Structure 1
Amino acid sequence: MADEVPLPTDIRLHMKSRTLELVYADGSFELTAEFLRVHSPSAEVRGHGIGQGVLQVGKKHVGFRGVEPSGNYALKIIFDDGHDSGLYTWEYLHDLAHDQKTYWDKYLADLAAAGASRDGGLIARG
């Protein structure tokens, strides 16, 4: 039998700091709205196939409108930029929380390679 993904023991949405706090047996993890938005599991972000993902830019100031359970397997996160189509499974949230630095560093590297910024637009190269 495959290992079961640990479920958070508590979930706290912090609107002012724009973070989602996930509490697991091995610690508490705060994920920013920007981090979750740019790593949305939606087709809009990931694309419809391998290599079809769309780099998200200009999401530095995105916040939350809310969070809703989706069955017993995921959270639906509603962002204040209108995005609400990604379902974050417990497995994906656990992975994002526990490997946050790797995901974030790759995102920043992808932005730099594209000459784009977290604020939106392109960065002048010269």
Structure 2
Amino acid sequence: MTAPIPTRVHYHKKDRQLELTYEGGESHRLSVEYLRVFSPSAEVRGHGGDTATLQVGKKHVGLKNITQAGRYALKLHFDDGHDSGLYSWDYLHALIRDREANWADYLRRLEEAGASREPLGIEIKQL
């Protein structure tokens, strides 16, 4: 798969959404929560087979920083400390394409686990 490369990447901090704009003006917004729970990192996806870790309590997660990894990916630095996944242009494009199915599957897995998108305990944000 050779996905298009965004011409602009913009973080909407208030809405906690990452906007990817492509040549011709096509634009897509992905919630930071969605990006976090579908991180391509081994910490989230596991090391093959059925070793993925269900991400819970990520509803209010935001981004601290975005850096480019070469010419092929973004590295997202989440405010919960997670920053080990590289989001290739192909992977971002797949997240856009499969957003509805991915999200429905995630919500189903949360329900089956008796888990929640809401964080547990008191959330403390660093200023």
Cα distance between partner residues in 1 of 2:13 and 2:66: 11
Aligned to 1:53: 52
Q: TM-score of the superposition, structure 2-length normalised?
A: 0.88
Question: How far off its partner does 1:10 sit?
Answer: 1.4
Structure 1 unmatched ranges of 5 or more: 122-126
Cα RMSD for the two superposed structures: 1.4
Aligned to 1:124: none
Aligned to 1:93: 92
Question: How far off its partner does 1:26 sit?
Answer: 7.1
After TM superposition, the structure 1 stretch with the greater mean CA deviation from structure 2, 21-30 or 73-82, is 21-30
The answer to whether 1:21 aligns with 2:22 is no
SS in structure 2 opposite 1:97?
A: helix
Q: Deviations over 1:59-111 (max 9, x none)?
A: 00100101000011110000000000000010000111122111111100110
Cα distance between partner residues in 2 of 1:89 and 1:116: 29
Identity %: 55
Q: Deviations over 1:5-49 (max 9, x none)?
A: 111121111112111001124721111110000000001100112
Cα distance between partner residues in 1 of 2:106 and 2:93: 18
Aligned to 1:76: 75
SS in structure 2 opposite 1:31?
A: strand
**Residues 47 and 16 of structure 1, relative CA distance in 2, 3 Å threshold:** same
Q: TM-score of the superposition, structure 1-length normalised?
A: 0.88
Aligned to 2:115: 116
Cα distance between partner residues in 2 of 1:89 and 1:4: 10
Question: Within 5 A, what are the aligned runs for 1:31-70?
Answer: 31-70=30-69
Cα distance between partner residues in 2 of 1:79 and 1:46: 16
Structure 2 unmatched ranges of 5 or more: 121-127
